[in-house]
Chain A
Amino acid sequence: MVAIVDYGVGNLFSLKSSLAYIGEEAVVTSEPKTLERAERIILPGVGAFADAAEKLSGCGLDKTVKALAEAGKPLMGICLGMQLLFDKSFEFGETAGLGLVRGEVKPIEPVIPKDYKVPHIGWNALRFSERGRADGIFKYIKDGDCVYFVHSFAATGCGESLLASAEYGAELTAAVRSGSVFGMQFHPEKSGDVGLKILKAFCEI
């Protein structure tokens, strides 16, 4: 069973539907006990970092998610949920994240050319890092496959954790992994077949 963490941020309908579509039982929950029982956890999220971090800690789920991930339970953060995995973010001031993956979340505007639009919205190709090429999470897809992005901030300084990036006038972090913790900046649940295949691979880890 996959537990989708419900902490009052974002629309979980498509995520739940996409897991059902690939034959995975999924529950949307804010119960620590259900998260403990789940085989794997997905941390979703849209909106602003500070607001989401506050909501997550407000219901005490930050500690539960962190403890379970540190104990080795597979965790996937999606979009803002991915950004929450990092040490800290600079969206509207500095806010601490879960610290499960090394790196910082910064605005993309200063690193992309002036005539590029913010947010980075649309389908962009994944470029695997050497580690990404070998990682099981991408076993059903290939380098260059397109996925759907919507974001104005991106993780930086991920070092060894980087699995894939996307080219948008600069290399933007698209996917990371640290142990059994995965982060996807794009939306697998909105990325057609390619996205479903990433979710399927995650459910087999």
Chain B
Amino acid sequence: MITKRIIPCLDVRDGRVVKGVNFKGLSDVSSPVELGQYYSDNGADELVFYDITASSEGRALFTDILRRVAERIFIPLTVGGAINTVEDFDRVLKCGADKVSVNSGAIRDPDLIYAAAKKYGSQCVVLSADVKRVDGRFTLFAKGGRENTGLDAIEWIKRAVQRGAGEIVLNSIDTDGVKRGFDLEMLSAVCQEVSVPVIASGGAGCAEDFVTLFKTLPRVDAGLAASVFHFGEVSIPQLKAQLRDNGIPVRI
């Protein structure tokens, strides 16, 4: 039985984790290496590192950090943020990333998905989509949710899968930060249309939200969150025990 994945997401700027986390036993709360190790030791099934650096110096720092993470942490690593070209894929894969997540870069150049999937395989290409309801329609947003593309999100995701995206991270802007649960309606709409793994993102406020997610939508493969894990509102070992007690298969 394949298990449901729990994935913490870490935002990294200039080589440091933004919104430093405060866990007991962590000496450097903003070190991606230490924090990644902490999550890996505490049941995370995969880690997402999101590079929010603006400068090219920061970019080089990020790849150096990634290499140090990959030397010590032996679970799948996904990297996102400022992935615009196949060269960007190459840069992070060489440093130990297993998957690369594309968002605005693929909206600007939809061929990026096909080119990357052809070169590295679909399993390596993750489409991250920021989606918001506009006049009752699921609409795709770019640039970290700031720009309305006017595109129908479901159509966009379907096309991305046809072009070779091997996984979808669906981030609901409507529920993001609200902490009252994942966007089940939006997730359901996407799961009905694609056959690749779907990762839910945006809205987790407590462990119960993950239970509801996997119970209501068995086709969702993973739950991704940032602040609820970082601020200790949800502990991954406790969350997994709760999922297991609810009959949801997890890796303990």
The residues of A with any CB-CB pair to B shorter than 8 Å are 11, 13-14, 17-18, 20-21, 46-47, 115, 117-125, 146, 148, 150, 167-168, 189-192, 195-196
Contact = CB atoms under 8 A, between A and B. Distances in A.
B150 interface: no
A123 B5 contact: yes
Contacts of A47: 121
* Closest A-B pairs by Cβ, 4 of them: A146-B251, A123-B251, A17-B71, A13-B96
A123 B195 contact: no
Nearest to B98: A190
Nearest to B97: A11
Q: Taking chain A's interface residues, is the majority helix, strand, or loop, or is none over half, making it mixed? A: mixed
Contacts of B122: 119
A117 B196 contact: yes
Contacts of B231: none
Interface in B59-75: 67, 70-72, 74-75
B70 A122 contact: no
Contact of B123 (A119, A168, A195): A119
Interface of B: 1-3, 5, 40, 45, 67, 70-72, 74-76, 93-96, 98, 121-123, 166-167, 195-197, 219, 221-222, 251
A124 B249 CA distance: 9
A18 B72 CA distance: 8
Contacts of B94: 11, 13
A21 B74 CA distance: 10
Contacts of B67: 13
Given A13-B95, A122-B2, A123-B3, A192 B75 contact: yes
Contacts of B70: 13-14, 17
Nearest to B119: A47
Contacts of A120: 2
B96 A14 contact: yes
B1 A196 contact: no
B123 to A, nearest CB: 5
A49 to B, nearest CB: 12
Nearest to A199: B74
Contacts of B5: 122-123
Interface centre among A18, A46, A117, A120 (most CB of B within 10 A): A117
B244 to A, nearest CB: 12
Given A11-B93, A14-B98, A192 B74 contact: yes
A14 B76 CA distance: 10
B76 A190 contact: yes
Contacts of B221: 117, 121-122
A18 B96 CA distance: 11
B166 to A, nearest CB: 7
B234 to A, nearest CB: 19
Nearest to B122: A119
Contacts of A150: 123
A14 B166 contact: no
Contacts of B166: 119, 121
